[in-house]
Structure 1
Amino acid sequence: MEGNRGSSQRCDLLQKIREFTRAIVQDLSIGRSPIVLIDRFRIHCTNPHANCCCSSVLPNGKEILTLQRENHVHRLDVLLRVLLIVQQLLQENRHGSKRDIYYMHPSVFSEQSVVDRAINDICILMQCSRHNLNVVSVGNGLVMGWIRFLEGGRKFDCINRPNTAHPIPVQVEEVKDIVSVADYILVVEKESVFERLANDQFCNANRCIVITGRGYPDIPTRSKWPMMQSNCVAQRYAGLEFFLQILRNTVFHSNVSFL
């Protein structure tokens, strides 16, 4: 049922994207400048003494984007480029990070905040969340070692090749049939250390699972942690720099740092 609902949401979103782009093409075909209306939302109160409704999720006016204004041309260009990437992600049922999208056209986007704004605009236009666009905030963590699991029909078999890195699935809730013969989990902070362990065939000599969040663990990496814990008898940790912050964030899903 969950898979059918997700497929239906993707189809609905793809239909909205097609209708949006078709309207723009039709305007251009008759020589008319397209007009894009984006709802504005009040995020915080600018007047603490006013009797306002800042907690309301209702839009607070609209922002009008048009090709007739020079400062809107680049913003619309970026929006359409990002929308095309999102469409491809949805059609192929893949996920991409905001950083991945930026590096597809770095000379056009110029900086990450430009992509972030376009994604936010698309969410407002399509009335959905970033999650629905198959866009994640950061890239996936990595896992290798003595574990096997299924995710969305795909089989991740690390046991047959324990020193081969696999990306941690974005849809952690779809992970099932976890099988592990590992004695412990090794959490590594830096990807470079993870790669060194893989090159040294560490998991051949040690029956364990090695996991890294590539510096600071993303949500899927943090979410997968308790799922793997139930399959191992002990956990060990590696990585000295910011060790306590990484450990706390991984285990307790918290961004609060130890000092």
Structure 2
Amino acid sequence: MDQVLIPSSSKRDQVIVQIEALICTMLQDLDDERPLVLPLRTTGSSPSKDTSPNLNNYCFPGISHSPAWRFTIVLRILDIIHEALIDDLFGSQSTINRHVDNIALTFNVSVKDLNVIAEVKGLIAGPLLVRKGESLLDDSIYINPEVWYTCSQATFHALSQSNFHTRNSYVLLTGQGYPDLATRAFLHYFNNHLASNIPCYALVDFDPDGLCIYSVYTRGSQASSNQLDTVVPNLRLLGLRSETAMPLLGIEMAVTDSQTGRDNTVTDAIAPNNAIELSYLSQHERQRAKGLLKRLRGEIEFGETDEAEQRYMQERWDWQGAQLQACPRQQTEVLIRELQICLIMGYKVEMEILNNRAGGLEKWVLETVEEQANRA
């Protein structure tokens, strides 16, 4: 078996120091307006008794295109080697994501136009045949799906393990948390180019994270606001919504009482069903919900301005204006209402709570989809 040689700590540090010293020298040469030189020891290509390496200098600028090309290649290879040797160079994945997004924003392109594609973490299940050129990514029999569901990770596994998708000719999709660009782009492409007549529903938890995940699918994240080819504005929020969650918890809405002067809102008399264990919203979750509320109210404000003001906002924020227009106002108002109720309740309610009702999660999904279809 071939052995893989891993450089010792001392040799690794030595290489790092040498690369960084070389770069510092070139920076000094730039400052002094001198040509850049990369000294590199090379072995001859022709057979010779003298096998000692020769010292060649790769210079920039060179006398022709070829020296500049060699200089660029060597410099880039050194950069890659340095990156591989440095421990925790970027600190975290979020650091890389942020700077890549900023670069794309600066050039007014999407991340995929930079040929940067993150590892796909999304999962899909259902009667769907995907072709890539002449090959099949899935050799299952193709059956035209009737409905698409974008699910939370736990809901996806619960429904797929019970074969809910095969028994009902549905497609399930999950981003396993906040969806990555590839998962969102896949849903966007399918919904806009392949099956625009197939309804898409979102199944997310009734909490700030669930509602924020739904918002990322429909209007994109703030970091990727220029990537309109990853949003699905017509994705419908099937649940879990307050109108379903609150009765299951035994929560009632208080009405305005002219005698007491209480407002038509949730009051301190509301109490959850003790048989169900609930989690309170953390301060971080509350801040996340408030941040999304601020953004959604900005969308409403944008829609209420006249055409001249909208053109000004589109010129100022470019793609953001177009994205604000993409989401229906009714959808935005529903999301605002759900976030407000979630903040007032102060509880997180997960999709799994539907298993406590008769028929469980599957029956609720089928009944709710039928209700949505009858309303349309």
TM-score, normalised with respect to structure 2: 0.31
Where relative contact order (Cα < 8 A, 6+ residues apart) is larger, the structure is 1
**Which structure features the higher share of strand residues?**
1
**Which structure features the higher share of helix residues?**
2
TM-score, normalised with respect to structure 1: 0.42
